């Protein structure tokens, strides 16, 4: 169900990105390769990112693993078979359970057919998904990236991306949506790959050190310049 796409340092797209911005070039050279894990089952992917709304990645993964263990083969049907109380015991909020039940019923009833949507544009898919209660733009964008593996997706309100830009460009404030979009203009068609580097930078804890002191990352250890 899951496919891993690896973007290595010598990938032509990564090499192109290195030429677009000195700071991004430095970040890429420090991090090296990044991976995109694509969940081919659209329902599973969307559920995972409904869980992830407004909580940390670590918390999301904990609840996600509990849900997968509970359902065995997680499908709209097996999800609907679970009681409210059991789902709440996993750490799911009442609101997220409601959202997942709405999504499950839409798929069971055929109101939404994810496979048929795959040929649509990013904007068309987002518009269809956000018509379902509980799925906003961020969740739809995560589906485009982690469900369909599209490389031209920007989630301008993703807090981790915003934090990465603030850190990398030494901004006094967290950039707003339009500011994020302005930075990403130079990376058009490769927005997902840049986002992967930003997400990995935060997951490695690199933002704990000023970007100008960033030198290299080896084995998860940060080496700083002497300056």
Mean pLDDT by groups of 10 residues along the chain of 227 residues: 91 97 94 95 97 94 97 96 97 98 97 94 97 97 98 97 96 97 97 98 91 67 46
Shared domain for 33 and 61, answered yes or no, is no
The H or E element that residue 224 is part of is: strand 221-224
What is the tally of structural domains in the chain? 2
Shared domain for 142 and 157, answered yes or no, is no
**DSSP-based three-state secondary structure for 4:** strand
In this prediction, residue 224 carries a pLDDT of 52
Which of 146, 169, 193 is the endpoint of a domain? 146
Shared domain for 132 and 175, answered yes or no, is no
In total, the chain counts a number of residues equal to 227
Shared domain for 205 and 218, answered yes or no, is yes
Shared domain for 48 and 33, answered yes or no, is no
In this prediction, residue 225 carries a pLDDT of 44
Shared domain for 50 and 87, answered yes or no, is yes
User: How far apart (Å, rounded) are the C-alpha atoms in residues 132 and 107?
Assistant: 11
What CATH number is associated with residue 112? 1.10.340.30
User: How far apart (Å, rounded) are the C-alpha atoms in residues 185 and 178?
Assistant: 11
Query: Whole domain around residue 33: which residue ranges?
Result: 2-37+153-224
Shared domain for 54 and 28, answered yes or no, is no
Shared domain for 51 and 138, answered yes or no, is yes
Shared domain for 137 and 57, answered yes or no, is yes
User: How far apart (Å, rounded) are the C-alpha atoms in residues 125 and 163?
Assistant: 27
In this prediction, residue 213 carries a pLDDT of 85
pTM over 0.75: yes
In this prediction, residue 216 carries a pLDDT of 60
The H or E element that residue 3 is part of is: strand 2-7
Which of 97, 126, 146 is the endpoint of a domain? 146
Shared domain for 83 and 120, answered yes or no, is yes
For the chain, where are the alpha helices, taking DSSP H only?
12-20, 22-31, 42-51, 57-71, 76-80, 84-89, 94-108, 114-117, 122-129, 137-146, 159-168, 177-184, 191-203
Shared domain for 46 and 106, answered yes or no, is yes
Shared domain for 116 and 213, answered yes or no, is no
In this prediction, residue 117 carries a pLDDT of 94
Which of 146, 172, 191 is the endpoint of a domain? 146
Distances (CA, A) of 95 to 46, 60, 84, 100, 155: 15, 15, 11, 9, 23
What CATH number is associated with residue 175? 1.10.1670.40
């Amino acid at each position: 169900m899951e496919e891993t796409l690896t973007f290595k340092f010598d990938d032509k797209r990564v090499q192109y990105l290195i030429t677009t911005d000195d700071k991004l070039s430095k970040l890429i050279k420090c991090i090296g390769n990044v991976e995109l894990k694509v969940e081919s089952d659209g329902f599973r992917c969307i559920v995972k990112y409904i869980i992830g709304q407004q909580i940390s990645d670590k918390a999301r993964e904990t609840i996600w693993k509990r849900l997968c263990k509970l359902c065995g083969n997680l499908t709209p049907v097996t999800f609907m078979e679970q009681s409210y109380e059991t789902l709440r015991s996993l750490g799911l909020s009442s609101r997220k359970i409601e959202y997942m039940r709405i999504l499950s019923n839409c798929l069971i009833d055929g109101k939404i057919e994810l496979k048929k949507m795959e040929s649509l544009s990013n904007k068309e898919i987002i518009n269809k998904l956000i018509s379902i209660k509980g799925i906003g733009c961020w969740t739809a964008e995560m589906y485009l990236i982690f469900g369909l593996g599209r490389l031209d997706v920007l989630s301008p309100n993703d807090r981790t991306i915003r934090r990465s830009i603030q850190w990398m460009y030494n901004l006094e404030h967290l950039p707003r949506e339009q500011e994020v979009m302005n930075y990403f203009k130079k990376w058009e068609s490769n927005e997902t790959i840049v986002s992967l580097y930003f997400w990995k930078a935060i997951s490695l804890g690199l933002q704990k050190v000023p970007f100008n002191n960033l030198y290299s990352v080896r084995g998860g250890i940060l080496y700083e310049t002497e300056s």
